[in-house]
């Protein structure tokens, strides 16, 4: 059975977002209207739709990100090289422990702040993170509160109501991909 994941995102500037995703995926949209664009991709099997909402708010970087798992280091390097040559800014993480796995990865953020993670998992890990500060750039106290509620990193957001984990800093992983 053939399947394709669908993601629908609002964007405050459709033209900028179309250029970003055209560069990220290396192809023009499958469909384009004055207030809408979509990509129906085979690799990755993804149907990404962008809907123009002029006053939409920037994505909540602490709440979510999207990821594409690759299975070969050469494929990861190829994606990264292509998007960098095309002018996108990327953040690289090598041999980072995140979500109980060790991986090489790179990140790119669209004009509305939605982050895309591309990674290759190399091995399993016994810890959520390899940094002593723990989950998603949180303080030790925030980590303790989140862990006591049963979660350290739920897609970058705290499992404790009212607890806001700090936004990642360059070089830190928001992980959970």
Domains of the chain, each with CATH number or no CATH: 5-52 (3.10.180.10), 66-128 (3.10.180.10), 131-161 (no CATH)
Band of the pLDDT at 132, cuts 50, 70, 90? low
Count other Cβ atoms within 10 Å, centred on residue 163: 14
Instruction: Map residue 44 onto helix, strand or coil.
Output: coil
Q: For residues 133 and 116, what is the distance between their CA atoms, to the nearest angstrom? A: 23
> 45: which residues sit within 8 A by CB, 6+ positions away?
2, 3, 4, 5
Q: For residues 52 and 9, what is the distance between their CA atoms, to the nearest angstrom? A: 9
Band of the pLDDT at 169, cuts 50, 70, 90? very low
* Helix extents (H) in 5-72: 14-25
- The model's pTM is 0.69
Average pLDDT score over residue span 156-164: 34
In the numeric block, which tokens belong to residue 9? Answer: 């995102």
What tens digit of pLDDT does each residue of 48-83 get? 999 999 887 766 656 578 999 999 999 999 999 999
Torsion sign across C-alpha atoms 27, 33, 35, 40: negative
């Amino acid at each position: 059975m053939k399947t394709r994941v669908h993601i629908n995102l609002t964007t405050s500037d459709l033209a900028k977002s179309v250029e970003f995703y055209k560069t990220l995926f290396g192809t023009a949209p499958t469909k384009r209207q004055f207030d809408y664009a979509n990509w129906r991709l085979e690799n990755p099997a993804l149907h990404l739709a962008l809907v123009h909402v002029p006053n939409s708010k920037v994505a909540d970087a602490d709440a979510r990100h999207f990821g594409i798992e690759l299975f070969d280091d050469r494929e990861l390097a190829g994606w990264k090289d292509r998007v960098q040559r095309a002018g996108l800014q990327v953040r690289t993480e090598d041999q980072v422990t995140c979500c109980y796995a060790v991986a090489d990865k790179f990140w790119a953020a669209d004009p509305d702040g939605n982050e895309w993670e591309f990674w290759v998992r190399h091995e399993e890990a016994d810890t959520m993170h390899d940094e002593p500060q723990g989950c998603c750039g949180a303080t030790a106290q925030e980590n303790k509160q989140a862990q006591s509620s049963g979660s350290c990193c739920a897609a970058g957001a705290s499992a404790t109501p009212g607890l806001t984990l700090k936004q990642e800093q360059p070089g830190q992983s928001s992980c959970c991909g």
